[in-house]
Amino acid sequence: MLDIKKIRENPEFYQAETAKKNSQVSISSVLDLDVQRRKILTEAESLKSQRNSVSKKIGELKKKGEDSSAIMEEMRKVGERITELDNQIRDIEEEQKRLLMHIPNVPHPSCPEGTSAEDNVVVRTWGSPLVHSFTPVEHKTLGERLGLFDFERGAKISGSGFPVYRGLGARLERALIQFFLDQHRQNGFEEVVPPYLVNRKAMTGTSQLPKFEEDMYRCDKDDDLFLIPTAEVPVTNLYDDEFIPEEKLPLRLCAYSACFRREAGSYGKDTRGLLRLHQFNKVEMVYFSHPERSYQDHEELVGHAENLLKQLGLPFHTIVLCKGDMGFGAAKCYDLEVWAPVEKRWLEVSSVSNFEDFQARRGNIKTKINGKNVLVHTLNGSGLATPRVMVAICDHYQQADGSLVIPEVLRPYMGGLDVIRAK
RNA sequence: GGAGAAUUAGCCUAAUGGUAAGGCAGCAGUCUUGAAAACUGCCGUGGGCAACCACUUGGGGGUUCGAGUCCCUCAUUCUCCGCCA
């Protein structure tokens, strides 16, 4: 959520910049409501002031045993008028908040201009694309031959997009997760095991709601709970309505979780195998940052994610998203895309964003700087989502004989196993 | 699931239905060569150029001229009972 006071100061800027993120909400309609609100508020407050002082007088009169019924009757009427005005204010505030909740964050000036993925800019490339000396098979085929994945039975019990990992595939999946978490611990993160079901307030705090409710799995028959689409939601909301001491910033947390996404409306070629799923595993990194240092921290965070791919030996590039391609709440966002030589394309495996105070304002997450309350900045990034990393591993590490070599850094987690062969 | 108790500002703690008192921590200033101490102001949110005003006692409602206080409801925590792993 944006700061209404800042919008008031520079409406043209906010109108122009939010429009670049495809916002339909008109800034001037929010400001019109704001003017109305303040006008009625002033009237209500002066009546309340009157009521307060007169009520005090009534108390004194009663103490002296004098009659006060006339002014009590008058105050009853004032009270009714106040209720009326308060109701109007509440309605206006609700409408204003509803609009504000649908306005996206404003992109940082360092983000490239642009309207779609085509305008994103590559900032770094690591490694060089692998050329196979044999005809490679795609990950789905390879994994099924080696008994790593079982898509058919997953579909049978849940539907498409719910893969089953089996045997060494299950172990490899777990190895990835544990490798990521161990790396983060060495980088000073505290590990968190969060709930997978969260309430509406948490979903709203990180801005999945109200705008994207149809993308979430809901348990609303009896409970109004949501399955988390990412551990960002429970972890970022951990400190809602709290103060984080300035000296603890940046507070670095990481969490493994399963992630649940309805992916409503995404069909097509991306749905093969592990490429797009309704349930997948991810390790998420979250920073609560000092507002003056969040962009430094953002660079550090993207570096952590990149380092994981380097250690896995998977070529990737880092792109900075243009203003029109960024997510709703982000002020700046880097995507990491790993090269998949069988797919012959880049696959997004991480998204690292700085939300500035956009989420912190919703969640009321503060710190105290020079005696003043200030919203912190929140950042998060995948580190990493496993399925497409698994695809890239299958693509890169498959051998001419149909076996799959285990990346070296994962072998300690596989009991020293260095290659998976067909039985 | 049942019974009881609790929730006041960053923290701790008051308030016979009469309009939130203190303390600690923090910030700014005075004093000081400097620091400490002491003193003064600030120290939740909103409105106002300002003087000021309003709101804020876990959330939401109600009674009242007036609610931290009385009533209803919800949440969370603690204690006990029951059930289950």
* A139-196 confidence digits (pLDDT tens): 999 999 999 999 999 999 999 899 999 999 999 999 999 999 999 999 999 999 999 9
Q: Tell me which DSSP letter residue A266 carries.
A: -
- Is pLDDT at A248 greater than 70 in this prediction? yes
Q: Which residue has the tokens 């006060």?
A: A68
In this structure, is the CB of residue A36 within 7 Å of any atom belonging to strand B? no
In this structure, is the CB of residue A245 within 7 Å of any atom belonging to strand B? no
In this structure, is the CB of residue A53 within 7 Å of any atom belonging to strand B? yes
With contact defined as beta carbons under 8 Å apart, do A197 and A228 qualify? yes
- Is pLDDT at A212 greater than 90 in this prediction? no
In this structure, is the CB of residue A79 within 7 Å of any atom belonging to strand B? yes
- Is pLDDT at A268 greater than 80 in this prediction? no
For residues A347 and A212, the model is more confident at A347
Q: Which of A13, A28, A26, A2 is nearest to A97 (CA)?
A: A2
| Mean pLDDT of chain A, nearest integer | 92
In this structure, is the CB of residue A127 within 7 Å of any atom belonging to strand B? no
- Tally of CB atoms within 10 A around A250: 21
With contact defined as beta carbons under 8 Å apart, do A294 and A377 qualify? yes
pLDDT band at A19 (very low <50, low <70, confident <90, very high): very high
- Is pLDDT at A361 greater than 60 in this prediction? yes
List % helix, strand, coil for chain A (3-state, nearest 5): 45, 20, 35
Residue nearest to nucleotide B10 (CA to C1'): A243
In this structure, is the CB of residue A45 within 7 Å of any atom belonging to strand B? yes
Across all strands, nucleotide nearest A38 (CA–C1'): B47
User: Mean pLDDT across the stretch A117-135?
Assistant: 95
pLDDT recorded at residue A266 = 63
Q: Between the CA of A82 and the C1' of B56, what is the distance in angstroms?
A: 18
Q: Above pLDDT 70, what percent of chain A?
A: 99
Q: Between the CA of A134 and the C1' of B42, what is the distance in angstroms?
A: 74
For residues A179 and A201, the model is more confident at A179
In this structure, is the CB of residue A133 within 7 Å of any atom belonging to strand B? no
Q: Above pLDDT 90, what percent of chain A?
A: 68
For residues A411 and A240, the model is more confident at A411
Residue nearest to nucleotide B17 (CA to C1'): A59
pLDDT band at A354 (very low <50, low <70, confident <90, very high): very high
In this structure, is the CB of residue A91 within 7 Å of any atom belonging to strand B? no
Who among residues 345-384 of A has its Cβ near strand B, under 7 Å? 368, 370-371, 373
> What SS3 class is residue A355?
coil
**Burial class of residue A230 in the structure, from the number of CB atoms within 10 Å of its CB (0-12 exposed, 13-18 middle, 19+ buried):** buried
In this structure, is the CB of residue A56 within 7 Å of any atom belonging to strand B? yes
Who among residues 293-312 of A has its Cβ near strand B, under 7 Å? none
Token output for A231? 């551990």
So what's the ipTM on this one? 0.83
Find all residues with CB under 8 Å of A126, minimum gap 6, and list them: A306, A309, A310, A315, A316, A317
In this structure, is the CB of residue A341 within 7 Å of any atom belonging to strand B? no
pLDDT recorded at residue A416 = 96
In terms of DSSP H, where are the helices of A313-351? Answer: none
pLDDT recorded at residue A20 = 95
pLDDT recorded at residue A91 = 87
Q: Between the CA of A130 and the C1' of B4, what is the distance in angstroms?
A: 70
Q: Which residue has the tokens 């700087």?
A: A369
Using a 7 Å cut-off to protein CB atoms, list the covered nucleotides of chain B.
Answer: 10, 18-19, 26-28, 42-48, 53-55, 64-66
For residues A82 and A330, the model is more confident at A330
